Amino acid sequence: MDLILVAVIALGAIGLIAAIVLFVASKKFAVFEDPRIAQVAEVLPQANCGGCGYPGCSGFAGACVKAADAGSLEGKLCPVGGAPVMEKVAAILGLEAVASEPKVAVVRCNGSCENRPRIVQYDGAVSCRVAHATCGGETLCSFGCLGCGDCVKACQFGAIKMNPETGLPEVDEAKCTACGACAKACPRMIIQIRKKGRVVKESHRRVWVSCVNKDKGALAGKACKVSCIGCSKCAKVCKKEAITIENNLAYIDPEKCIACGLCVNECPKKAIHATWEVPVPKPKPAPAEGVAPVQQAAPKAAPAAAQQVQQ
Amino acid sequence: MKTFRIGGVHPAENKLSAGKPIVVAELPKQAVFPLSQHIGAPAVACVAKGDVVKVGTKIAEAGGFVSAPIFSSVSGKVNKIDSIVDASGYRKPAIFIDVQGDEWEETIDRSETLVKECDLDAKAIVEKIKNAGVVGMGGACFPCHVKLSPPPGMVPTCVIVNAVECEPYLTADHQLMLEHPEEILVGVQLVMKAVNVTKGYIGIENNKLDAIKLMTEKAVQFPGIEVVPLKVKYPQGGEKQLIDAVIGRQVPAPPALPVSVGAILQNVGTMYAIYQAVMKNKPLFERVVTVTGKSLANPQNFLARMGTPMQQLIDACGGLPEDTGKVIGGGPMMGKALMNTEVPICKGSSGVLIMNMTEAKRAEADPCIRCAKCVSACPMGLEPYLLSTCSAKADWERVEKEDIVSCIECGSCQFTCPSHRPLLDMIRLGKSTVMGIIRARSAKK
């Protein structure tokens, strides 16, 4: 009996002393963390993708709080959550959300098996980075997609899939968060994060050059049916000076482009892609600007309108 | 018999063209000279379209200290300076020359007589080698004069000649030794004089008994030169492995050079080129190339001018066989599959190997079974399975810590892997990335 009592008292005493030490230590060495960081982290999607440029969601939360103390959330965007999440973050921090344009990953190569004939077979490790370092690829084009799917592996959101028919990756616009992981994974810098573009009839409109081949026109043309040959026809037709030609390759500046679609049909190689069907103009059409609004207003009627013009 | 201590594998030798005399290859119709045929800065073209050149005319200047000039191997007119698809499928700048006749520069001594006496001093010899565009002819193409100018504070004690030819199939060096033993020995003497040492070793694997016998006989007249027969084991031709095999010293991890243990290494083909450059005033514009393969009608050794398309040599051996699976530039272990056969012969092209379908097919990779065969095979004492996995996961810090830069890319790990895993593919990627990171770091400092 005595023994038990001694043990209880002894343990109780040790417990009490330890509790006091711990209490004092927790008060003395307390690290102050802004409670807002935890609050902000809570509304973030916890994907920890790094697409915002910070190490994980808690890192981003910390950066947001710091930015809020400086006065503005400008430049801070969670690509996964997008505007709704940023509004919540802004509300917690007592600020106005800075509107930023939604973006999406765009694949700038259209060298499908049909367009770009295979001349050799690559049988090394299934990795674009390895293939890029070992050889120019299976075709004559040493700039285009290698088709080993590093971008698919890099995507955490299942937004990129390989199309087995074309051998090219395809981006699911609904799932893509524009975190940029695929663009970083691609050794040939084929994938680019671009603005989603203006909304017409509930779909985004954007235009891009679907080729990154910098070879001279004749060589690029030989390698692929739909390669950019740097003829600069698109640059001449563009009214906003959004298209530049560098190293035999056209580039459309998303900041300047208004997605009018003029260049799409001008391209002799069909290397310029648009997310919507651009009506083919007559050889000498009425001012193209006139055609575009008709199409915007009623896309279904557009082919009919085009036919009328032809008649 | 001597050999190196760590790792190594024994691939089938397949020396099909052994003992076949060196045939002078026909002149091409158009010769193409890529400007970057060596390690280091690319050469800078010093001719223009329409210029008339002779055999041995300098057509490109060295682009820096670690670089080498390029000489025309044909006489004719410069057609254009454009780009050519190289062996790996990327476009590289090159000089195209249309061949007309075969007129040589007058300064070149074309006689066959052996010149033994050389009254040049060390500096003059290195200068002559530098100006003749001689690079390491084993395949790495490291500019020769750089190896012969050791950094201050490092004193070479011996010259080791790499006559190992450990790559299966290749016989170019073997045949060169059989046909030009004395020229090679004079070359060794010149290098010994250039770096001021009295000892020279020639390492030959004992699958070339005739070469060992002949070289030993001839070496009697050359004081200080010793022929060292070596046990057959791949990759004995790697410089660190050869130093270990011949003089039993181990080179520390990079950035240490072979000269830090006192050895100057040169390939036997380089020795012949040095002899010709110093004694015959003949710059480097032709080399011995083995064209071989199991399905090839007539495997041969050629003396080919640089810039000759490989297709022409293959045609001279009976043309591409029907069951061709891969055409490889170099040997089967370290060579690279060619994207097209119009690639020209360069300073480092030691062979063209035509693999048939069965040989060329890579088995599908299975999961690693942790047998550690790759670890025992690695001649650098690395852990290939670990380097490969970490490279695949892009864990560059870890692979750097695991000493990936020591990898000599010999391919022993991949050769020995029972699961056929693409170990070397991933390690090469990791190594090049880590080298890039290290370069960027030192540039910052």
The values of phi and psi at residue A199, to 5°, are -95, 125
Cβ of A133 and B429 within 8 Å? yes
CATH number, domain containing residue B311: 3.10.20.600
**What local confidence, expressed as pLDDT, does residue A1 receive?**
67
What pTM was computed for the model?
0.82
| Cα–Cα distance measured from residue B95 to residue B73, given in angstroms and rounded to the nearest whole number | 12
Q: What is the pLDDT along chain A (311 residues), one digit of tens a residue?
A: 689 999 999 999 999 999 999 999 999 998 888 888 888 888 888 888 877 878 888 888 888 888 888 877 777 888 788 788 888 888 888 887 776 778 899 999 998 888 988 888 888 888 999 999 888 888 888 899 999 999 999 988 899 999 988 889 999 988 888 888 899 999 999 999 998 888 888 888 899 999 999 988 888 888 899 999 999 899 999 988 899 999 899 999 988 888 888 899 889 988 999 988 888 776 654 444 444 444 444 444 444 444 444 43
Q: Which of A120, A130, A215 sits opposite B425 (nearest CB)?
A: A130
| Cα–Cα distance measured from residue B74 to residue B97, given in angstroms and rounded to the nearest whole number | 8
B317 and B220 within one domain: no
- Kindly report each contact of residues A251-258 with a partner whose C-beta sits within 8 Å and lies 24 or more positions away, as own/partner: A251/A209, A252/A207, A252/A208, A252/A209, A254/A194, A254/A195, A254/A197, A254/A206, A254/A208, A255/A195, A257/A206, A257/A207, A258/A198
B126 and B273 within one domain: yes
| Cα–Cα distance measured from residue A234 to residue A250, given in angstroms and rounded to the nearest whole number | 8
Cβ of A125 and B432 within 8 Å? no
Q: Which of A119, A136, A215 sits opposite B88 (nearest CB)?
A: A136
**Contact residues, chain B, for A133 at CB < 8 Å:** 428-429, 432
Alpha carbon distances (Å) from A245 to A224, A231, A242, B393:
19, 8, 10, 37
- Burial label for A150, CB within 10 Å (0-12, 13-18, 19+), is buried
Number of domains in chain B: 4
Classify strands B158-162 and B263-267 as parallel, antiparallel or unpaired. parallel
**What local confidence, expressed as pLDDT, does residue A295 receive?**
42
Per-residue pLDDT reduced to its tens digit, B263-319:
999 999 999 999 999 999 999 999 999 999 999 999 999 999 999 999 999 999 998
Q: Is residue B2 part of a domain?
A: no
Nearest CA to B170 among B288, B344, B281, B308? B288
Could you tell me the two tokens for A16? Answer: 């009490």
Q: Is residue B40 part of a domain?
A: yes
Residue B436 parent element (H or E) = helix B423-444
* Alpha helix (H) residue ranges in chain A: 2-28, 35-43, 56-70, 82-92, 128-134, 150-154, 181-185, 217-223, 233-237, 262-266, 288-297, 302-310
Mutate to test the interface with B, among A116, A121, A129 (most CBs of B within 10 A): A129
- From the CA of A136, how many Å to the nearest CA of chain B? 4
Per-residue pLDDT reduced to its tens digit, B26-81:
999 999 999 988 888 999 999 999 999 999 999 999 988 899 999 999 999 999 99
N residues, chain A: 311
- Backbone φ/ψ region at B419: left (φ over 0), alpha (ψ -120 to 50), beta: alpha
**What local confidence, expressed as pLDDT, does residue A284 receive?**
57
Looking at the complex, does the CB of residue A217 fall below 8 Å from at least one CB of chain B? no
Q: Which residues contact B42 (CB under 8 A, 6 or more apart)?
A: B35, B36, B63, B67, B93
Cβ of B339 and A135 within 8 Å? yes
Alpha carbon distances (Å) from A301 to A278, A282, A296, B229:
12, 16, 10, 86
B79 and B128 within one domain: no
Mutate to test the interface with A, among B336, B425, B431 (most CBs of A within 10 A): B425
Residue B183 parent element (H or E) = helix B181-195
Nearest CA to B157 among B99, B207, B98, B197? B197
Task: Report chain A's C-alpha Rg in angstroms.
Answer: 28
B298 and B157 within one domain: no
Nearest CA to B273 among B259, B287, B262, B263? B287
B165 and B71 within one domain: no
Q: Is residue B8 part of a domain?
A: no
Q: Is residue B117 part of a domain?
A: no
B198 and B126 within one domain: yes
Q: Is residue B39 part of a domain?
A: yes
Q: Is residue B368 part of a domain?
A: no
Residue A125 parent element (H or E) = none
Structural contact between residues A256 and A241, judged by C-beta atoms closer than 8 angstroms: yes
CATH number, domain containing residue B47: 2.40.50.100
Q: Is residue B313 part of a domain?
A: yes
Q: Is residue B113 part of a domain?
A: no
Looking at the complex, does the CB of residue B90 fall below 8 Å from at least one CB of chain A? yes
B128 and B78 within one domain: no
Looking at the complex, does the CB of residue A39 fall below 8 Å from at least one CB of chain B? no
Looking at the complex, does the CB of residue A129 fall below 8 Å from at least one CB of chain B? yes
To the question of domain A103-287 being in CATH 3.30.2020.30, the answer is: no
B249 and B295 within one domain: no
B405 and B348 within one domain: no
B269 and B305 within one domain: no
Sign of the Cα pseudo-torsion (A285, A289, A295, A297, in order): negative
Q: Which of A123, A136, A219 sits opposite B89 (nearest CB)?
A: A136
Structural contact between residues A260 and A239, judged by C-beta atoms closer than 8 angstroms: yes
- From the CA of B422, how many Å to the nearest CA of chain A? 6
Q: What is the pLDDT along chain B (445 residues), one digit of tens a residue?
A: 899 999 999 999 999 998 899 999 999 999 999 998 888 899 999 999 999 999 999 999 998 889 999 999 999 999 999 988 888 888 889 999 999 988 899 888 888 888 888 888 889 999 999 999 999 988 788 999 998 988 888 899 999 999 999 999 999 999 999 999 999 999 999 999 999 999 999 999 999 999 999 999 999 999 999 999 999 999 999 999 999 999 999 998 888 888 889 999 999 999 999 999 999 999 999 999 999 999 999 999 999 999 999 999 999 999 899 999 999 999 999 988 888 888 999 998 999 999 999 888 888 899 999 999 999 999 999 999 999 999 988 899 999 999 999 999 999 999 999 999 999 999 999 999 999 999 999 988 8
Could you tell me the two tokens for A92? Answer: 């917690």
**What local confidence, expressed as pLDDT, does residue A283 receive?**
64
* Domain containing residue B318: 286-360
Number of Cβ atoms within 10 Å of the Cβ of B403: 16
Q: What is the DSSP string of B344-401?
A: BP-TT--EEEEEEHHHHPPPPP-------HHHHH-TT---HHHHHHHHHTT-HHHHHH
Residue B78 parent element (H or E) = strand B76-85
- From the CA of A209, how many Å to the nearest CA of chain B? 22
Nearest CA to B94 among B268, B306, B245, B255? B306
**What local confidence, expressed as pLDDT, does residue A39 receive?**
87
| Cα–Cα distance measured from residue B113 to residue B183, given in angstroms and rounded to the nearest whole number | 10
Q: Where are the domains of chain A?
A: 35-92, 103-287
Structural contact between residues B380 and B408, judged by C-beta atoms closer than 8 angstroms: yes
| Cα–Cα distance measured from residue B325 to residue B328, given in angstroms and rounded to the nearest whole number | 10
- From the CA of A135, how many Å to the nearest CA of chain B? 4
CATH number, domain containing residue B260: 3.40.50.11540
Sheet holding B76-85, edge to edge: B30-34, B91-99, B76-85, B52-53
**What local confidence, expressed as pLDDT, does residue A81 receive?**
81
- From the CA of A50, how many Å to the nearest CA of chain B? 16
CA B389 to mean position of chain CA atoms: 29
B323 and B266 within one domain: no
Looking at the complex, does the CB of residue A117 fall below 8 Å from at least one CB of chain B? no
Alpha carbon distances (Å) from B13 to B17, B133, B249, B293, B418:
11, 32, 27, 12, 20
Looking at the complex, does the CB of residue A215 fall below 8 Å from at least one CB of chain B? yes
| Cα–Cα distance measured from residue A126 to residue B68, given in angstroms and rounded to the nearest whole number | 36
| Cα–Cα distance measured from residue B387 to residue B243, given in angstroms and rounded to the nearest whole number | 25
Of the three residues B360, B388, B420, the one that is the final residue of a domain is: B360
Provide the number of CB pairs (under 8 Å) joining chain A to chain B. Answer: 48
Of the three residues B256, B279, B302, the one that is the final residue of a domain is: B279
B257 and B158 within one domain: yes
CATH number of A35-92: 1.10.15
